Amino acid sequence: MAQHSVDTHDSHGEHEHHESHGSLKSYVIGFVMSLVLTAIPLIVVMNDLLEGKAATVLLLASAVLQFVVQLFYFMHLKEEGKPRYNLMVLLLGLIIVLTIVAGSIWIMTYNKVA
Partner 1 sequence: MAQSGNHIIAKPSQEHDHGHGKEGHHDLESLRMMGFWIFLITDCILFGTLFATYVVLNGNTAGGPTPAELFEMPGVIAETFILLTSSFTSGLAVLSMNRGDRKGLIRWLLVTVLLGASFIALEVTEFMTLVHEGASISTSAQWSAFYVLVGTHGLHVTIGLVWMIAIMIQLKQHGINSVTRRKVNIISLYWHFLDVIWIFVFTIVYMMGVM
Secondary structure of residue 50 in the 3-state scheme: coil
CB of 114 to partner 1, least distance (A): 20
Going 26 to 32 to 38 to 41, the CA torsion angle's sign is negative
How far apart CA 114 and CA 109 sit, in angstroms, is: 12
Q: Work out whether the CA dihedral 76, 57, 88, 84 comes out positive or negative.
A: negative
Tell me the torsion sign for CA atoms 77, 82, 85, 15.
Answer: negative
Q: Minimum distance from CB of 91 to partner 1 (Å)? A: 9
Residues 40 and 69: their CA atoms lie apart, in Å, by: 15
Of 20 and 78, nearer to partner 1 (C-beta) is 20
Min dist. Cβ of residue 78 to partner 1 (A) = 14
The residue (of 53 and 114) whose beta carbon lies closer to partner 1 is 53
Binding region for partner 1 (CB under 8 A): 4-5, 7-9, 11-12, 15, 18-20, 22-24, 27, 30-31, 34-35, 38, 41-42, 45-46, 51, 55-56, 59-60, 62-63, 66-67, 70-71, 74-75, 81, 85-86, 89-90, 92-94, 96-98, 100-101, 103-105, 108
Nearer to partner 1, 59 or 114 (CB): 59
